[in-house]
Amino acid sequence: MNFEELWAFAGRNPVYSIALGGLTVAIIVNELSRFFRSYKTLRPAELVLMINRENALVVDLRAIADFQKGHIAGSKNVQMSQFDPEGKQLAPAKALPVVLVCQNGVTVTGAAKRLKQAGFQHVHILDGGITAWQAAELPLVKGKG
């Protein structure tokens, strides 16, 4: 396919062309935003190292029922409705690395921004959440924690 054929296709299919352009712009903006985030993403293996080497606080933001079905050992369950960076559960950990976890790694972005605004220095999120943790065949603990 050459440029002339591509241009002709775009002329015959303006809706597809606009959709393709919009998706391309969205992907570029999403990738560029990664460079300007105030928090970092971790893969499951990196989280294991951070827990073992730096005594990271893992905060699981999933619902209590999901947390009890399986969570990362040593993690604390904090409901999004009760998430308070200045609260007694989190404020003492300002100097520690804090890693936020949810089911798929999407819900945690707002919480990560709130932690940074509250003065937490080392804020991370688990890329892909518990789903990625399970895909890496890492263990989960059942119960209240």
List, for residues 17-44, the tens digit of each pLDDT value.
898 889 988 888 877 766 666 788 999 9
How far apart are the C-alpha atoms of 56 and 123, rounded to whole Å? Answer: 10
DSSP class of 38:
S
pTM for the model = 0.75
Per-residue pLDDT reduced to its tens digit, 72-126: 999 999 988 888 888 877 888 888 899 999 999 888 989 999 999 998 989 999 9
List 123's β-bridge partners, or say none.
98
How far apart are the C-alpha atoms of 130 and 4, rounded to whole Å? Answer: 47
Q: Which whole-number Å values give the CA distances from 15 to 3, 11, 120, in the listed order?
A: 19, 10, 45
So what's the pLDDT on residue 9? 85
| Homologous superfamily assigned to 38-135 | Rhodanese-like domain (3.40.250.10)
Pairwise pLDDT comparison (145 vs 126), residue with the higher score: 126
| Domain boundaries, given as residue ranges, for the chain | 3-34, 38-135
Q: How far is CA 105 from the centre of its chain?
A: 3
Contact 118, 35 (CB under 8 A): no
